[in-house]
Structure 1
Amino acid sequence: MLSRDPTYLGTVASVSGSAVSIHLAQSVASGLSIINGRTYRIGQVGSFVRIPQGYQDLFGVVSQVGAKAAPLPQQSVDDDTGRWMEVQLVGEAIGGTFERGISQYPNIGDGVHLAIESNLRRIYGTAEQGHIVVGTLSSAESIPAKIALDELLTRHSAVLGSTGSGKSTTIASLLRSITSPPVDTEAYPSARVLMLDIHGEYSTALADVAKVFSVDPQAGEEKLLIPYWALEAGDLLAFLTGGVDGPRETAFTDKLFELKIASHKATPFPGVDESSITVDTPIPYSLKQLWHDLIDFEIATFDGPQRDQSTRQDAGDADKLIAPKYKPHAMGAAGPFLNQQAFGIRRQLNLLRSRLLDRRYDFLLHPGSWEPNLGGKTKQDLDALLAGWLGGSKPITILDLSGVPSAVLERLIGSILKIVYESLFWSREKTEGGIERPLLVVMEEAHRYLSTNTESLASETVRKIAKEGRKYGVGAMIISQRPSEVDETILSQCGTFFALRLSNPSDRQRVQGTLPDGLVSLLDVLPVLRTGEAIIMGEAARLPMRCRITLPSQEHRPRSSDPEVTQQWSLQRRAEGYDRVVASWRAQRPRAVVRDAKVKRDKVTDESAED
């Protein structure tokens, strides 16, 4: 049947639940339709169709397209072209208002029309507050792709895509949409975003809207310092001693608790009652003093008939990590005698001392003005640390962890997340807490520390954020190129997904599990998405939409682009210094130098001004 309406596609042939089968009309045999000067392709999977129902319109998404091999003999070509579409009903519009879900089903024989640009504006064009623009629809580039900011944060989100699919650029664009939107859109000057940047990609890209903390800071960046005494005792001891249990662990925790009590007595902390202090209470204490007291007990020797007279010859120096000296013990009954009550933790104490002397861990074990003296007193408290991370003058805080040794990276991330979540959880009644001023935590390369098979502090804390963070104003954004390796509990709590190009079948299967069965076919295009193109679905999107993410300007793009092999290999060979390579390798810092360039600078005076 032919129709004068250029949007006409065909008629409803069958209805089964939300699935509708459509027989295509002969008028759309070409597969192309030109409407109001725009060309539309017919039968694109993921495109929208409109089914008029009087004063309201039903909208559906094309999930499957096919054709019979040949018309049946008893049917004429005019009656059945042999071409059909499968559509999943997703919502309805009455007037200019679109709502998800449907109140009635179409009838057999109802006309089906192509959803043109004006129809798409009814679906995606929202004037409500709290929406940010992240790009444009792939099917209609004049229509902005908007997502709801409230649902993005409170229901958590995940950005998933293979290497080179445009994840880093998507994140940079998304954060800019929140912190520095276009002039004619809503601004969020009190936005609060904390990003864990594993590879140091975003420091330059977001420098104008972010405060950067780095282990190896550049000009304009601040030193990343994390006080060890704010970490949980068990996780800290696992790193410092290689792991202890039983009486050996008790020896460490008892001494640690004793030092925290002494620190509180010397300088009482506001709001803290001595009876409520535990080994995990974030009260400063000296690791040097902890080591010195324990090593003194381990190596002590005694003399005398009762074996109770100390033979100490030198008290040592806790601040310089010099152990006390005792007379060496002797065999037999002559003495001196070993301390029979020693815990046998000398090996663990030696490892603790080596950690304290290792310069690579200074950001954690010697945290500047947060490092306690032997009595447990610090120059600055945790309020200054949190003010830098969460209360800066810029909306984004980037913790550049690219210079952190891999041996401690996973524990460090877990500790950072624990510090931030615990502080916002316990301050939920304060204006600085997460309820009054929510926080979005962006976690790059999440599969490295949120793995399915890892029971780490990071996984435990992010699970808690995913399950309970909504109530306390803490939202998580998980970024990964291998969603199949991310803890399933964490990923299942994400309400919004940005799915970029994914080639691995197991990764695609994990993403497909987030959509209703009828719309799973929309994700069949994941392997062929263009770079920077994403399918956005979930709580923050009114409907699943395929869109092109807005690219930031060249100077605001992350440092994640591929090496330019042809250009670099076409250059003439030049002199190279591999001593610089070795210097960076040994120092575990990409910007380490062999020789510091000391430039003498003289003050320049303007002689003409003096005349």
Structure 2
Amino acid sequence: MSELSFNEFDKIGSVIYVDTNQVLIEVEENEKISLLKVGSIVAIQTTRKFEFTIGLIDKVRRKANELLTLDNFMDEYDEDFEYEYVSSDIIQISLIGTYKTVDGDDKNIFKRGIDTFPQISHNCYSINGDNLNSFMNIIGDKVSSEKQLEIGTFAIDNSARAILDGDKFFQRHASILGSTGSGKSWCVANLIEEASKLNNPNMLIFDLHGEYKSLCEAENKYAEYYKIAGPGDLEKQDEKYVFLPYWLLNRDEMLSMILDRSDNNAPNQASRFTFHVRNLKEDTLKKENKSEVLNTFTVDSPIPFDIKDLVVKLKDDDTKKGIGANGREVKGEWEGKLTRFISRFETKILDKRYGFLFQPNSNTLKYEWLSILLCRLIGTNDEKKGIKIIDFSEVPSDVLPIVTGIIARLLFEVQIWMDEKERTPFAILCDEAHLYLPIKEDADNIQKQALWNFERIAKEGRKYGISLVVISQRPSDVSKTILSQCNNFLVLRLSNDRDKSVIKSLLPDALKGILDQLPILDIGEAIAVGDAILLPSRIKLKVPQLKPISATKDFWSEWDNKKVDNIAIAKAVENMRCQTKK
């Protein structure tokens, strides 16, 4: 691989200002200013012979200065001076790394961080032509072949592949952010497609709108499809329909759905609920002869029990009379205090929209059922793909945070309790994250339960082999705690000032200049920043082979060429009534 070499033609100018993040260069020849573009890469001479500081051009500006011509000066009171104008061309550069032609036994090394800052009057050179091609190859070759995650090409050099370090991308969590229609779904599909080329990929995609189902249906499919059971799926036995029975919820998750904290009897209701749930789980363990578990389990342990038995016990408490000192019946200790709680509870149980929670099939009451479920979600075998799409499209929005949180919590806890040597890493891709991972201050009781689970994964998941990829069109509405734990960002077009400011607040000052390009990115272009890529860059994303069902409708064309299908509307009405798609 050839090293970078510069000549007088490549020379832009010299340094006139330096701070810890930026450098100003005065361009020596006016003609060269037209060749410089925002986002271009430059190399700045340092005091070391074999070393250059690498930067990105943030701004290019020309300033006209007035010079007084003294030849026509007549006297100090004469105002008829003649002026001539000279231009001062300045470029502003953000410093991003260091290039060394020789570093010990190694040659042509580029790394993040600045070893030696430029000094005033040091020369600055543009990196283009053969130098640009060589430099992009240096960046790509820095990632070993087994770690390469190719996502597209560099915008400044379409012939150079944009390669991320796959290990670093998932090890330190990541975010894919961009406005609706900017190409996020294609970006996600690209990641999934690249992961599918590995021998044993392990990913779960939380699909809120069913748009990634197409990745599971083609002949060359590379993902398995699962769906949280909708109202029309409750009687189906196919394993692709996922039930999350009530007994998987911990105490706080369940109470957040059915307990009214403003009720004066809320403490009594929570107390009796907790008491009976624990006893019912204890009965199951005794029946299964699980003596070891029986000695250490808690009310939050995921142990199956029949919800009908719980309702019977609560109703018995609510109607049971007490016995007075003289043996006569008196009002019972819990009598009448659980009525409203039971009513809310039964309403949830009977609502088919929540059937995947409260009306699961009989198999879910088996003690070994949870192991089978988790093996399907994070286990692999020769017949199943390691990439799983989980369709949440029929989950009611009010319990969506609970449902996503249950799955995340179970996966996290399994990794915690698994022997360290036997753990295998997996990633959770959270599509439309703003819907269930909101800012904590804006979250209700149900959303806070999910937030706690995901924030714990964001802060501690790395050591247990769990990666989060947060995908959202509104980063300003996503938990700041979770975003702050992401060390890699693929940011597509964003124009909202609040969203842009959130992203800028998460990055070092030296990298904020590149984000000024966000509003002008084309569809399918992204700014890649983070540990997984050496050079923060504008990237043209690849088009995935299997495209998600997320294409933007061509309104004008379809209005001209396609009639409305009244039969389809009538069918949709029936689907709405049935709460399922047929």
Range of TM-score over shorter length: 0.7 to 0.9
**Structure-2 separation of matches of 1:396 and 1:136:** 25
Q: 1:204 to 1:232 in 2, by over 3 A?
A: same
2:75 paired residue number = none
SS for the counterpart of 1:142 is strand
1:251 equivalent in alignment to 2:251:
no
Q: SS of 2:295's equivalent?
A: helix
Query: Cα deviations across residues 490-540 of structure 1 (Å, max 9, x unaligned)?
Result: 111111111111111011001111232233221111111111111111121
Contact 1:500–1:529, Cα closer than 8 Å, also in 2: yes
1:206–1:579 Cα change, 3 Å: closer
Give the aligned partner of residue 307 of structure 2.
Answer: 287
Return the offset for 1:109: 3.2
Answer yes or no: is 1:168 the counterpart of 2:185. yes
1:83 counterpart residue number: 89
Aligned-partner residue type, residue 112 of structure 1: C
**Structure-2 residue corresponding to 1:101:** 113
Q: Distance in 1 between matches of 2:237 and 2:304?
A: 30
2:249·2:300 contact (CA, 8 Å) conserved in 1?
A: yes
Inter-partner Cα distance in structure 1 for 2:53 and 2:359: 64
One-letter identity of the residue aligned with 1:353? E
Q: Deviations over 1:409-468 (max 9, x none)?
A: 12111111111111111114351x3xxx11111111111111112151111011101111
Q: CA deviation at 1:65?
A: 1.4
Q: Is structure 2 residue 123 aligned with structure 1 residue 111?
A: yes
Cα 1:411–1:45 shift into 2, 3 Å: same
- The alpha-carbon distance between structure 1 residues 302 and 13, as it changes in their structure 2 partners (threshold 3 A), is closer
Partner Cα distance (1:546, 1:428) in 2: 41
- Aligned CA distance change for structure 1 residues 177 and 291 (closer, same or farther; 3 Å): same
Note the C-alpha offset of 1:246.
1.0
Contact 1:232 1:280 in 2 (8 A): yes
Verify the 8 A CA contact 2:21 2:509 in the aligned structure 1: no
Q: Any idea what SS the aligned residue of 2:214 has?
A: coil
Displacement of 1:383: 0.8
**Aligned partner of residue 585 in structure 1, secondary structure:** helix
Contact 2:324 2:330 in 1 (8 A): no
How far apart in 1 are the matches of 2:281 and 2:324?
Answer: 35
Given that 2:14 and 2:26 are in contact with CA atoms closer than 8 Å, whether structure 1 keeps it comes out as: yes
Cα deviation for residue 354 of structure 1 reads 3.0
Task: Read off the aligned partner of 2:51 and give its amino acid letter.
Answer: Q
Matches within 5 A, 1:126-275: 126-128=142-144, 129-180=146-197, 188-207=198-217, 208-214=221-227, 215-216=229-230, 222-240=240-258, 245-269=266-290, 272=293, 274-275=294-295
1:311 equivalent in structure 2: none
- TM-score, normalization: structure 2? 0.84
Alpha-carbon distance between aligned partners in 2 of 1:219 and 1:71, rounded to the nearest angstrom: 83
Structure 1 counterpart of 2:531, from 520, 530, 539: 539
User: Would the aligned equivalents of 1:535 and 1:546 in 2 still touch at CA under 8 Å?
Assistant: yes
Q: Which residue of 2 aligns with 1:39?
A: none
Q: Please point out which of 464, 487, 490 is paired with 2:479.
A: 487
Q: How far did 1:57 drift?
A: 2.6
Match of 1:451 in 2: 438
* Contact 1:146–1:541 (Cα < 8 Å) also in 2: yes
Contact 1:415/1:458 (8 A) holds in 2: yes
Q: CA deviation at 1:558?
A: 1.1
Q: Secondary structure at the match of 1:6?
A: coil
Displacement of 1:546 after TM fit? 0.9
Residue 50 (structure 1) aligns with: 43
Corresponding letter in the other structure for 2:376: G
Instruction: Determine the C-alpha separation between the residues in 1 that align with 2:215 and 2:240.
Output: 16
Return closer, same or farther for 1:428/1:506 CA change in 2, 3 Å cut-off.
farther
Give 2:201's aligned amino acid. Answer: A
Compared CA separation, residues 340 and 132, structure 1 to 2 (3 A):
closer
SS of the residue aligned with 1:236?
helix
Task: Give the CA deviation at 1:64.
Answer: 1.8
Distance 1:242 1:399, change over 3 A: farther
Q: Which has the higher helix share?
A: 2
Counting only pairs closer than 5 Å after superposition, residues 56-71 of structure 1 correspond to structure 2 as 56-70=51-65
Counterpart-to-counterpart distance in 1, 2:526 and 2:30: 32
2:349 is the alignment partner of 1:356: yes
- Aligned equivalents of 1:231, 1:543: Cα separation in 2: 44
Q: What is the aligned partner in structure 2 of residue 439 from structure 1?
A: 426
Given the alignment, which residue of 574, 577, 581 partners 2:572? Answer: 581
**Which residue is 1:549 aligned to?**
541
- 3-state DSSP of counterpart to 1:479: strand
The Cα shift of 1:573 comes to: 5.5
Shift of 1:338: 5.8
Report if aligned partners of 2:30, 2:89 keep a CA contact under 8 Å in 1: no
| Among candidates 120, 130, 133, match of residue 136 of structure 2 | 120
Give the match for residue 560 of structure 1: 550
| Distance 1:17-1:263 versus aligned 2 partners, 3 A rule | closer
**SS at 1:204 equivalent:** helix
Letter aligned with residue 566 of structure 1: W
How many angstroms does 1:241 deviate by? 5.1
Q: Deviations over 1:118-146 (max 9, x none)?
A: 23333444242422111110100111111
Residues 260 and 266, structure 2, Cα contact 8 Å, conserved in 1 = no
* Equivalenced residues, count: 530
**Which residue among 509, 514, 522 is the counterpart of 1:522?**
514
- In 2, the alpha carbon distance for the partners of 1:103 and 1:93 equals 9
CA contact under 8 A between 1:125 and 1:143: conserved in structure 2? Answer: no
Task: Kindly state the Cα deviation for residue 91 of structure 1 after the two structures are TM-superposed.
Answer: 1.9
TM-score, length of structure 1 as denominator length: 0.81
What CA distance in whole angstroms lies between the structure 2 residues aligned with 1:238 and 1:14?
58
AA paired with 1:233? R
Distance verdict in 2 for CA 1:531–1:578, change over 3 Å: closer
CA–CA distance in structure 2, aligned partners of residues 279 and 468 of structure 1: 24
Deviations 1:161-189 (CA, angstroms, capped at 9, x unpaired) = 11111111111112212222xxxxxxx22
1:408 matched to 2:424? The reply is no
Following the alignment from structure 1 to structure 2, what is the Cα–Cα distance between the partners of residues 541 and 97?
14
Of 47-56 and 407-416, the range deviating more from structure 2: 47-56
| CA RMSD, Structure 1 to Structure 2 (Å) | 2.8
* Stretch moving more, 495-504 or 21-30: 21-30
- Aligned partner of residue 404 in structure 1, secondary structure: coil
CA shift in 2, pair 1:581/1:16, >3 Å: closer
User: Do the aligned partners of residues 252 and 511 (structure 1) sit closer, same or farther apart at CA in structure 2, a change above 3 Å counting?
Assistant: same
Q: CA deviation at 1:205?
A: 3.0
1:20 aligns with 2:37: no
Matched, 1:510 2:473: no
Distance in 2 separating the partners of 1:88 and 1:238: 48
Amino acid of the structure 1 residue aligned with 2:203? V
% same residue: 31
Residue 5 and residue 578 in structure 1: after superposition, are their counterparts in 2 closer, same or farther (change >3 A)?
same
Tell me which moved more, 387-396 or 257-266.
Answer: 387-396
* Alpha-carbon distance change, 515 to 577 in structure 1, aligned in 2, over 3 angstroms: closer
Cα 1:357–1:428 change in 2 (3 A) is same
* 2:12 and 2:32 in contact (8 A); partners too: no
Q: Quick check: 1:136–1:550 contact (8 Å CA) kept in 2?
A: yes
| Distance in structure 1 (CA, Å) of the matches to 2:532 and 2:238 | 35
Q: 1:114 to 1:124 in 2, by over 3 A?
A: farther
Q: 1:356 to 1:541 in 2, by over 3 A?
A: same
Note the C-alpha offset of 1:582. Answer: 2.5
Q: Equivalents in 2 of 1:127, 1:540: separation in Å?
A: 9
Runs (5+) with no aligned partner, structure 1: 33-41, 181-187, 309-335, 373-377, 593-611
Q: What is the letter of the counterpart of residue 448 of structure 1?
A: L
